[in-house]
C-alpha cells in the first residue's frame, strides 16, 4: 500500500512537471524524478521504522518490545520455542502472535501452559510495552513475571483482553490503566501481589484475590 501511494505521487508529480515546464527543461526531469522516487522508498520494500523478516515487514518498535521480554526472561525462557534451532529465542518465536497488514502486533499470548517453572517467562514487563499501540490481546498468565505494571500500559488504547493472573507482579497498579480500562472485555489479574489502593476505575471483583502480605 505504501509503495502504491509513492507510485501515485510519482505519477502525479511527473504529470504536473511535464505540464508546467517547457519542453527544453523536460529532459532534466528524466533524471530528477527517478531520484525523488528513490529517496521516498526503502530498497528492502519496507517503510521507515520497519524491518524485513523473511519478506514481511514488521514494525521495529514492536519487535523491540518482544526482544525486551526475551532479555528479561533470559534465565527461564523455554528453548523449545527456538523453532529455527539457532540456539537463541528471537522475537517472532514468542508463542502465539498475530500481526496486521501494516506490520503491527495485535495479539500476543505467552503463558506457561505446562505449569512448570522450567518453561516460563520471568523478569519485569518491559517499560516500552506502551509502544504496542495496536495490541488487542495480551495474555501473560501463568508465568513468573515480577515487578510492577509499567505506567506506559495506559497507551494501549486498543486493548480488549488483558490477562496477568498467576504471576509474581506487585506494587501498585498505575492509574494510567484507567485510560484503557473501559475498553476491556476481559481483564484478569488475580493471584498476584498488587497492593491497595487500587485504581477506582477497576471494579473490585476484577482485582480478585491478591497476596498483600508484603504491602506496607
CATH topology for 59-207 is 3.80.10
Q: Where along the chain do its domains lie?
A: 2-39, 59-207
pLDDT in tens, 66-90: 999 999 998 788 777 888 888 889 9
- Using CA atoms, how far apart are residues 180 and 207, in angstroms rounded to an integer? 16
Residue in 113, 116, 120, 109 with CA at minimum distance from that of residue 75: 120
Share of the chain above pLDDT 70, in %: 75
Strand partners, 171: 194
pLDDT in tens, 75-129: 788 777 888 888 889 999 988 999 999 999 999 998 765 555 556 889 999 999 9
Amino acid at each position: 500500500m505504501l509503495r502504491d501511494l509513492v507510485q501515485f505521487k510519482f505519477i502525479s508529480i511527473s504529470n504536473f512537471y511535464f505540464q508546467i515546464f517547457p519542453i527544453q527543461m523536460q529532459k532534466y526531469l528524466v533524471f530528477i524524478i527517478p531520484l525523488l522516487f528513490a529517496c521516498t522508498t526503502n530498497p528492502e520494500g519496507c517503510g521507515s521504522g520497519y524491518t524485513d523478516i523473511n519478506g514481511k515487514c514488521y514494525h521495529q518498535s514492536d519487535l523491540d518490545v518482544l526482544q525486551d521480554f526475551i532479555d528479561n526472561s533470559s534465565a527461564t525462557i523455554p528453548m523449545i520455542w527456538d523453532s529455527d534451532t539457532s540456539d537463541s529465542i528471537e522475537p517472532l518465536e514468542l508463542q502465539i502472535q498475530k500481526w496486521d497488514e501494516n506490520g503491527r502486533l495485535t495479539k500476543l499470548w505467552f503463558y506457561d501452559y505446562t505449569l512448570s517453572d522450567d518453561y516460563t517467562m520471568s523478569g519485569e514487563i518491559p517499560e516500552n510495552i506502551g509502544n504496542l499501540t495496536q495490541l488487542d490481546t495480551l495474555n501473560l498468565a501463568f508465568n513468573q513475571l515480577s515487578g510492577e505494571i509499567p505506567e506506559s500500559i495506559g497507551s494501549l488504547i486498543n486493548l480488549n483482553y488483558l490477562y496477568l493472573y498467576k504471576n509474581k507482579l506487585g506494587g501498585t497498579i498505575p492509574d494510567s490503566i484507567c485510560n484503557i480500562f473501559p475498553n476491556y472485555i476481559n481483564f484478569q489479574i488475580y493471584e498476584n501481589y498488587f497492593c491497595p489502593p487500587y485504581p477506582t476505575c477497576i471494579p473490585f471483583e476484577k482485582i480478585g484475590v491478591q497476596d498483600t502480605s508484603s504491602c506496607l
